[in-house]
Amino acid sequence: MTLSLTPSTSTAHPVRAARRRAPARRKNLAGWLFVAPFGIVFVTMLILPLGYALYLSLFRRALIGGTRLVWFDNYVKAFNDPSFREGVSFVIRFSLVLIPVQMAISLAVALMLDLMVNRFARFSRLMIFMPYAIPAVIGALMWGFLYSKNFGPLADISSLVGADAPDFLGSKLIFWGLFNVVTWQWAGYYMIILFAALQGIDPSLYEAARMDGASQWQIALRIKIPLVAPALLLILVFALIGTLQFFNEPKILQPLAAGALPEDFTPNMYAYEQAFNLANYNYGSAISFSLGAVVFVCVYLFLFATRKRGSFLS
């Protein structure tokens, strides 16, 4: 889109450009004025904190000798720290399982809803989207209740078939417990994005395909899915950014899932622990900055590898 570095068209017509210079300069200023308020927030809330985090992360505070410059020692420490490494490994494994399943579900539901044009389909669309409006904290809490041995229905249901209730808050199944919460929360949002993209496709394409004898399956696979590819890519990027910074759900389920969710379960939880429970701001900043860098690099590489005409960032 706009990342290509083609020369601007005004230089191609120097004469015309010169004649218009005065109003052009005024418009130049106007453009900057429109962007400036956001620019100020951008600098103070993003550039400044990031720069400061980078600066802080180069220091270490010791009991003897006070704070001293250690250059990239905190990063060496972080990437050798089993807590940070296991946290990163968890969020990556979690993304690899979660994102494909979540995308498959939302795409399947969007295709179904696109086929069915009636009141029940409209109702279902809203109901499936509903969890998006729920704070992650409350969503995690609701599922925590449902998983709980004290209040949950799992024990009742399992006893009907004579089995022990699965413990989604125990260390064995916590992965799937969290998997379910996140899928429940986000699948509807992704489905709505895909559904809106499907609705934007010109229906005459389907007519033409049907004339050629294509079945609904073929129409879905050959026409609909390729045409919503940009939307799928957008969802994938959002899901990746969201999952790598996983924090709310495990933090909320922590008191309920004693032992299964340690303080260093995800990199963000570990950074929070370092900064706010141990007051170790230098190391906490290094972890935050490393996480941000990992996410940025992952997403950028991914977008670069899949760039296509017409998609986000192409």
How many chain residues interact with other proteins (CB under 8 A)? 111
The interface mask with other proteins, positions 227-266, x = CB under 8 A, is: -x-xx-xx--x---x--xx-xx--xx-xxx----------
Task: Give the shortest CB-149-to-other proteins separation in angstroms.
Answer: 11
Instruction: By CB under 8 A, name the one of 76, 116, 205, 208 that touches other proteins.
Output: 116
Name the segment binding other proteins (CB under 8 A); options: 13-21, 74-82, 96-104, 273-281: 273-281
Residue 158 binding other proteins, by CB under 8 A:
no
Residue 30 binding other proteins, by CB under 8 A:
yes
Residue 176 binding other proteins, by CB under 8 A:
no
What is the distance between the alpha carbons of residues 237 and 90, in angstroms, rounded to a whole number? 18
Of residues 32 through 91, those in contact with other proteins by CB under 8 A are 32-35, 37-39, 41-42, 44-46, 48-50, 52-53, 56
* Rounded (10°) CA dihedral 37, 293, 193, 228: 120
Residue 184 binding other proteins, by CB under 8 A:
yes
What is the distance between the alpha carbons of residues 251 and 267, in angstroms, rounded to a whole number? 12
End-to-end CA distance of the chain: 5
Q: Which of residues 152 and 170 has its CB atom nearest to other proteins in the complex?
A: 152
86-91 contacts, C-beta under 8 A, 24 or more apart: 86/264, 87/264, 87/265, 87/266, 87/267, 87/269, 87/270, 88/267, 88/291, 88/294, 90/265, 90/266, 91/243, 91/244, 91/245, 91/246, 91/266, 91/267
Task: Give the shortest CB-255-to-other proteins separation in angstroms.
Answer: 4
Tokens of 297: 């690099």
Among candidate residues 192, 197, 174, 199, the one with its CA nearest the CA of residue 131:
192
Of residues 124 through 143, those in contact with other proteins by CB under 8 A are 124, 126-139, 141-143
Instruction: By CB under 8 A, name the one of 5, 22, 63, 64 that touches other proteins.
Output: 5
Q: Which of residues 64 and 249 has its CB atom nearest to other proteins in the complex?
A: 249
Task: Give the shortest CB-276-to-other proteins separation in angstroms.
Answer: 6
Q: Which of residues 12 and 64 has its CB atom nearest to other proteins in the complex?
A: 12
Among candidate residues 143, 151, 185, the one with its CA nearest the CA of residue 168:
143
Instruction: By CB under 8 A, name the one of 103, 107, 174, 295 that touches other proteins.
Output: 295
What is the distance between the alpha carbons of residues 264 and 254, in angstroms, rounded to a whole number? 11
